[in-house]
Structure 1
Amino acid sequence: MNKLLVIGSTVVDVIIPVDHLPRTAEDVNVYEQRMAMGGCAFNAWSMLRHFGVPAILFSPVGTGVYGDFVRAGLAARGTSSPIPTPQRENGCCYCFVEKGGERTFVSVRGAEYAFRREWFDGLDLTGVDGAYLCGLEVEDPSGDCIIGFLEDHRALRVYFAPGPRIRSLQRDRLDRILNLHPVLHLNEEEAVSAALDLTGTAPRDAAEAAAALRRRTGGPVIVTLGERGCLYDTAEGQGWVPGGPARVTDTIGAGDSHIGTVMARLQQGASMEQALRAANYVSAAVVSVRGARLAEEDFAAVLSALRKEGLA
C-alpha cells in the first residue's frame, strides 16, 4: 500500500466546556479544562494510523510547553515529524464547547504553521502517492512554498480540506490549489459559499454546489451534511450517502476524522461510496466522545462494526 503525506498543523487543544459563549463584558464559569493532542493534520493522520495506512506526518513542532506536549504525544504514538525543530514556540487551540456540543476555536498560532521549502526538498517521496492539505497553513506567509511543492509533484493526489478558510484564502493561492484537481472536502455551508464565490452563481442546494465546484476543479467533491450524511460529485456521477443519529458530546475533529477515514479507505481500495459510508460512521463516533479523536479501544469497536457492515 502506498503512503500519504499529511501536511499541516499539530497543536495542543485546550478543551474548555462552557454553558454558553460569553457576551462582551460577561463573566462565565469554566468547570474544567484539559489538554489534548490536536490540529487538523494530526487528527487526519491519526485516523490513517487507526486504519493501518502508512503516512508521513509533515508537521512543524516548535518549542515551549506546547511543543514539548506535542513531541511527547507523537513519541507515545511511535512517530515524530521529519522536520527540524523550529526555534519558535508551538501554538495551541482553545476549544470552547457549549452544552449542545458545538465548538468555537480561538487559536494561538505558532511554529506549526510556518513551513520552509527546504524541508520539502529533503523529503523522501518513495512510495508516496497522495498528500493531504488543510487551509490554515496555506494562508500563512509561508503557504506559498507548500503550494509550490505540490505543483512540482503533480502526480500526487491532493486531498484538500480547507474548512471555513476557503472563504478567506488568498484567491491566487486558492486557484493554484484548485488547479491541481484535488479531492475537495467541505461542509454544506462552506460548499454553497465557495460555489457562489468561485462561479458567481448561487446554488440552490449542496448538490448543485458540489456540481459547480467539480466543474471548477475537475476533481471529486465531498460535502458533509451532519447527521444527514454526505454527498459526492465525481467524474463517475453524483451520490448521497446517508448518515445516522449520533449522541453529540462535542464536534471537535468531526471533519478531520471524516476526511481521514475517506483517505484511508480509498488508499485501501474502497470505492468512493464505501469510503464515505465508513467516514460517516466514524465521524458519528467521534462526536460522541470528548475531544477530536477516538481512543484505541473505541476505534477497535468502530472497526469491528465497520467490518460487520463490509466497510473495512
Structure 2
Amino acid sequence: MKQTLVIGSAVVDVIVNIPHLPVTGEDVHISKQSRSLGGCAYLTSDILRHFLAPYSLCTAVGGGIYGNFVLEKLKERGVTIYVRRGEKENGCCYCMVEEGGERTFIVDHGIEYTFHEAYLEKIHTKSIDSVYICGLEIEETTGTNIIDYLRKHPEYEIYFSPSPRIMKIQAERMAAVLALHPIVHLNEKELLEFTNESSVEGGAKALHEKTQRPVIVTLGEKGAYCFDGEKDLYAHPVKTTVVDTIGAGDSHMGAVIAARRFGLGFGEAIEAANYISAAVVAKSGGLLEKEDFRNALSKMPERLQQKFSTRV
C-alpha cells in the first residue's frame, strides 16, 4: 500500500503555563511546566498513526538532553527512527500557554529541522504517493533540498503547511513551493496576511490561482473551510473546552491527509479533522493518546465513522 512521507521536525515541547505573556522587566510566576513530544511534522504524523494510515516520518533525531528525550518517546510510541545524528544537538520549543489556551512559541532549532535526500536511504521511497512539508523546514538553509527533491517527483501529492512564519519564508522559495501545486493548509490569519485579501474566500481563491489545488483554512471557533477549485466547502466547529491550542493545526492537517487516504472528499475531510483538532485542544500539549483518539472518532457522525471503520 502507498504511504505518506512526512518531512520535518520532532522536538521537545517545554510547556509553560502562565497568566499572560510578560512585558519587558515584568516578573511572572508560572502555574505549571511540563514536557511533551512535539514538532509540526511529528504531530501531523502521529494522527496518521492513530488512523492506521501508512506513513514514514523523515526527521533527523539529534543528541543532547532534548535528542535523547525525543529518541525515547518515539520508541515508546512505536515510531521507526530512520535518521539518528547523535553528534548534533536536537532543539526544543518553549510553549508559553496563557490563560484561555492561546500559545506563543519560542523555538530553538536543531538538526531536526534539516533535510538531506540521504535521510531517505532507509525509507521505502517507491511506496510514496504523497508528502507533507512544513514552512519551518522550507525556511531553513536546507529548505532548497526539500524543493529539489519534490521537483524530481511530480507524481507526489503534496500537503503544505506554511506555519505561522509564512511571511518569513523567502519569496523565491515560497513561489517555488507553490509552483509544485501543493494542497495548502493554513489558518485564517496566515491566509489573509499572505494574500492581502479581506475575506477567507477571497484569500483561498487567490492562493488557488497559484497552486491550482484545494486550499484548506482552519477558522478556530468558526470551524474550517476549503476551496476545492470549484466550490466553497464549510465544516461546522466542534464544541470543546480549550486547554491549549498546541498542535491544533497539525492534528487537523494529519486528519485531512488520513481522511483523503480513506477516500473522503475535502468537505468530509475537514469535517472529520475538526473532531480530531477539538480533542487535541481539550488537553495539554499536542498529543492524543489512544483513548483520546477513540473518543474523538466516536463523536463523529455515523456516516464518517463508517468510512474509517475498515481500518481504525
**One fold, TM greater than 0.5?**
yes
Give the C-alpha shift of residue 243 in structure 1.
1.1
* Identity across matched positions, percent: 43
Paired amino acid for 2:192:
V
Indicate which of 269, 273, 292 corresponds to 1:275.
269
Q: 1:29 aligns to what? A: 29
111-120 vs 174-183, which deviates more? 111-120
Q: Deviations over 1:22-75 (max 9, x none)?
A: 110111111321110000000000000010101000011100111111111111
Deviation at 1:221, TM superposition (A): 0.3
Aligned AA for 2:294? A
Specify the SS of the correspondent of 1:26. coil
Instruction: Please name the residue that 2:184 is paired with.
Output: 184
Distance 2:160 2:142 in 1: 17
Q: Give the direction of change, closer, same or farther, for the CA distance of 1:115–1:87 in structure 2 (3 Å limit).
A: farther
1:83 and 2:77 aligned: no
Superposition pairs of residues 1-312 of structure 1, within 5 angstroms: 1-85=1-85, 87-120=87-120, 123-196=123-196, 203-306=197-300, 308-311=302-305, 312=308
**Displacement after TM superposition at 1:307 (Å):** 6.0
Contact 1:86–1:111 (8 Å) recurs in 2: no
Gaps of 5+ in 2: none
TM-score normalized by the length of structure 2: 0.94
Aligned partners of 1:302 and 1:245: how far apart in 2?
Answer: 12
- Superposition TM-score, scaled by structure 1 size: 0.94
C-alpha distance after superposition, 1:192-227 (max 9, x if no partner): 11112xxxxxx2310110011101111110111111
Matches of 2:117 and 2:77 in 1, distance apart? Answer: 27
Could you give the per-residue CA deviations for residues 109-168 of structure 1, whole angstroms, max 9, x where no partner exists? Answer: 111112223224664312210000011111111111111101111111000001222211
Unaligned runs of 5+ in 1: 197-202
Distance in 2 (CA, whole Å) between partners of 1:121 and 1:309 is 40
Letter in 1 for 2:302: K
2:275 and 2:297 in contact (8 A); partners too: no
Cα distance in 2 for partners of 1:32, 1:269 equals: 42
Q: In structure 2, how many angstroms separate the alpha carbons of the residues matched to 1:52 and 1:208?
A: 35
Equivalents in 1 of 2:186, 2:39: separation in Å?
17
Shift, 1:309, TM fit: 4.7
Displacement of 1:245 after TM fit? 2.9
Cα RMSD of the aligned pairs, angstroms, is 1.4
**Residue identity in the other structure for 2:283:** V
